[in-house]
Structure formats: C-alpha cells, structure tokens
Amino acid sequence: MSKTKGVSLIANNKKAYHDYFIEETFEAGLALVGTEVKSLRQGQCSIKESFVRVEDGEVFVYQMHIPPYEKGNIFNKDPLRVRKLLLHKREINRLIGQQQQKGYTIVPLKVYFKDSRVKIEIGLARGKKLYDKRDDIAKRDTKREAEREFKIRNLG
C-alpha cells in the first residue's frame, strides 16, 4: 500500500486499461459497513471481475470482492454483495447519458483510501478491439527497447 498525500491504494484494475479505452474517470464514495472497512484497511480487495451498473438513478458495483474480516464474526457481510456508489446527481446523469451511446460501459479502476474515506475510481470506457490491444503491446515493446538501447548507450 503506497502512501502519497493521504491517498493509499488498496486495489488496482490493470485489466480494465488493457481491455478498454478509458474516456473519462469519476471518483465515487463507497457505502460500506464497519467490518468491510477493517478488511480494506488490511489491504484485502479484488475488483478484477467487478462491473458497475446504473439502476433507478443510483449507481452500484457488482462482484467486488471484500473478504470477511477475521475478527468480525456475526457482523461480517457477504463478500460479493452489491455495494452502492455515492455520486452527485449530475455525475449520475452524465454517466447515464454517456452509457447509452453505443459501446460505452462503466468499469471500476481503483479502490483507495483518501484521508480516512474509501473511494473508488470508475471510468467511462469504450471496448478495445483485438488489433487495438496488439497495437498497445507493440508500442510498449518498442518503448521498452528504446529505453534499453538508451541505457546501454549511456553506460558504455
């Protein structure tokens, strides 16, 4: 867990950046119970398989796995329960409008503590085609090669 300016990262969704073009990001609060927050403080969370849905003017995250807190006993909730995201009405309306366009979806990108509050960064995303993914991999490889050549040239 890295600490910078009161922000400590809990979980990161690298797969989302590989599978989607992230057009816009939003920061949302998470409605949680006490034992879930304690489990998050231990750095336990997975958002790899999770997704976001807008229902009746409210935003929810599905399949976000927060394991039960060891000392939580009867207060523990279901690890995969649906959790509400806290956003302003205008942000929700903007998400609804953008999502109705063809090919857009909402994906969770990061879960982190901002000061003492749990926040989730969600992104308005457009799906990548296979050739886009290959193009990104090729760009990354050429950049890595260039950095390696630069390093060798400067050492010798």
- Residue 135 domain-assigned (yes or no): no
- Is the pLDDT confidence value at 73 over 80? no
- Is the pLDDT confidence value at 14 over 80? yes
- Residue 136 domain-assigned (yes or no): no
- Residue 17 domain-assigned (yes or no): yes
- Is the pLDDT confidence value at 32 over 70? yes
Domain that holds residue 72: 3-128
Q: What is the CATH number of the domain that holds 12?
A: 2.40.280.10
For the chain, what percent of residues have pLDDT higher than 70?
A: 93
pLDDT in tens, 100-113: 877 788 889 988 98
Structural domain tally of the chain?
A: 1
What H or E segment, with its residue span, contains residue 131?
A: helix 130-155
- Residue 14 domain-assigned (yes or no): yes
Calculate the average pLDDT of the chain: 82
Any idea what DSSP says for residue 112? E
- Is the pLDDT confidence value at 85 over 80? yes
Which residue from 61, 72, 79 is spatially nearest to 123, judged by alpha carbons? 61
The torsion angles phi and psi of 18, rounded to 5 degrees, stand at: -80, -40
72 band by pLDDT with thresholds 50, 70 and 90 = low
Residue 71 in 3-state DSSP? Answer: coil
Whether the CB-CB separation of 86 and 52 falls below 8 Å is answered with: no
